[in-house]
Structure 1
Amino acid sequence: MWTSAWLSGAAASDDVLDALLAWGEAHEVVAAEAEAAVGLDLPLTGDFPATPVQLLAALRSRGAGETRLVLPVPGDVRGLGGGGAFTDAAVRAGEAMLLPSLGFGLVPQMIAEGLVRWSAYKVDTSVAPEYVGLADAEHGLTDAIRDSAGALQALDVAKDRPGVRAELSAWLRARPRPQWPAGMPGRALRVLQRAEEVGAILAVAEIDEPGGALSASAAMLRADALRPLGNAVRLARYAAVNEAVRLFSEQAGNIQ
């Protein structure tokens, strides 16, 4: 989000660097393969890593355009454009950033407490991304909440438990609290916030009560009931971020 705002002229490079602090105190950048090392002027994995400042300079000098978020999971790799090392790394991480105009992708990985490594890969970005509208994403969240609640009640594994509100508050407090660029589209922000709230409910619902572990079969049924909710949260984040990125890119085009 911040990279797109910076590329469109809606944010300064220092704003991008400051925003990264929500996810880790330090960030380093390496190329996972030779083509990415040459294309983005980055050191290979194992060499002394580059900094985000160097990466931003490379993106600017090479005329990087719109960025794109992908949130792949096994069985759903929309937006990745095929297999390969990048797809494998992105699925393991559950997230990645694409640079379609340059043909590269970046995968973040927490390699130590407070230290995030961004690995760059050469990727096939010729495949058009699947568009998911914000309205569809919002409706999907609502439907998934209803369906998951009904399924869990039918399984008798959605029992009230003491302290659940405190658990939700603690989970939300532990999450990074990023700032968003000026001009962040209101509807996209609303969908992101709703997805975060539902994500907290999902995280707490997946935790067994102390001393009340479910049987293996019941745990499997519960996981099946919650899976649509997790997919809806992921899709809502995907739609909200990419819609905001699209609007930032449009603004940059209008300015030019």
Structure 2
Amino acid sequence: MEQLQHAEPVFWIAVCCPSATLTVWTSAWLSGAAASDDVLDALLAWGEAHEVVAADAESAVGLDLPPAGDFPATPVQLLAALRSRGAADARLVLPVPGDVRGLGGGGPFTEAALRAGEAVLFPSLGFGLVPQPIAEGLVRWSVYKVDSGAPEYVGLAEAEHGLTDAIRDSAGALQALDVAKDRPGVRAELSAWLRARPRPEWPAGTPGRALRVLQRAEEVGAILAVAEIDEPGGALSASAATLRADALRPLGNAVRRARYAAVNEAVRQFSEQADRSQ
């Protein structure tokens, strides 16, 4: 791969998903702020091996990738295809049922992204990627042709304020749920959840505010993950479980929006740096 001076990366902020890692590092690479080997190294946090296949004929032809069922391509081949086709940058999407903005409507890509809860878009090329763990240490990236424009832009300040508001508005519900009441080890659970999160390196030049918002979103995400665990022995009634889910849903949406905004703000700044250097 090409040689590039390696700047000191930021490495201590957890990341929500493989798509976020690929989105930021590929954008940094396309803008000249990272080497292709840095992209490959960052993906190792999610699996020892990654493979790439085309999920449809247009992707196979458009990016010269093997179809599913044939011997898969490597991430190196994917990066080469993106470069040769003139990709500008990537965008992260984190879809959930009822919110599929940026996916271009229905179809196989939307269905796959919803199952995964994540995807990477290359709007300038009209392709999207969805990761799927298929074996221990192995992640498959399926590439789809996507007929959509650029995903919705969410400002980092807007997302950060939304997360703050959701925390405040959910405080009463969280207190009523009293996650720690019958679980004295809840603090240990939170710490263990955070320690278990992958912590791939982030490119040098990633905006500090975006990293801070990501860190806060991960901390709140840990609280949500622990709060959603069933009571010991499955003692939580169906009605209580429904109330809990309803109370936590706005906070979960705010966390998802904060992650989306932080990653895509980093992408935007890398793109602007590249434009200024031309």
Same fold by TM-score greater than 0.5: yes
Distance 2:80 2:151 in 1: 26
1:6–1:12 contact (8 Å) kept in structure 2: yes
1:53 Cα deviation from its structure 2 partner: 0.3
**Higher mean displacement: 202-211 or 186-195:** 202-211
1:149–1:158 contact (8 Å) kept in structure 2: no
What count of residue pairs does the alignment treat as equivalent?
255
% identical equivalent positions: 90
Q: Structure 1 residue runs of 4+, over 4 Å off?
A: 154-158
1:2–1:181 contact (8 Å) kept in structure 2: yes
TM normalised by structure 2 equals 0.88
- 2:77 is aligned, of 54, 77, 88, to 54
**Higher mean displacement: 43-52 or 135-144:** 135-144
The CA deviation string for residues 170-202 of structure 1, in whole angstroms up to 9 with x for no partner, is 111111111100100011111111111110111
**Higher mean displacement: 34-43 or 131-140:** 131-140
The CA deviation string for residues 126-149 of structure 1, in whole angstroms up to 9 with x for no partner, is 434222111111111111112222
1:205 Cα deviation from its structure 2 partner: 0.7
Distance 1:57 1:212 in 2: 50
- 1:22 is aligned, of 32, 41, 45, to 45
1:115 Cα deviation from its structure 2 partner: 0.6
Q: Which has the higher contact order (CA 8 A, sep 6+)?
A: 2
Distance 2:175 2:212 in 1: 28
TM normalised by structure 1 equals 0.96
1:102 Cα deviation from its structure 2 partner: 0.7
The CA deviation string for residues 13-36 of structure 1, in whole angstroms up to 9 with x for no partner, is 000000000111110000000000
SS in 2 for 1:21: helix
1:159 Cα deviation from its structure 2 partner: 3.3
SS in 1 for 2:97: coil
1:78 Cα deviation from its structure 2 partner: 1.2
1:32–1:45 contact (8 Å) kept in structure 2: yes
SS in 2 for 1:28: strand
The CA deviation string for residues 147-176 of structure 1, in whole angstroms up to 9 with x for no partner, is 222124346667363011100111111111
Across the aligned residues of Structure 1 and Structure 2, the Cα RMSD in angstroms comes to 1.4
Distance 2:205 2:178 in 1: 45
2:180–2:186 contact (8 Å) kept in structure 1: no
Q: Provide structure 1 residue ranges, at least 5 long, that are not aligned to the other structure.
A: none
1:212 Cα deviation from its structure 2 partner: 5.8
Distance 1:189 1:152, change over 3 A: closer
1:83 Cα deviation from its structure 2 partner: 1.3
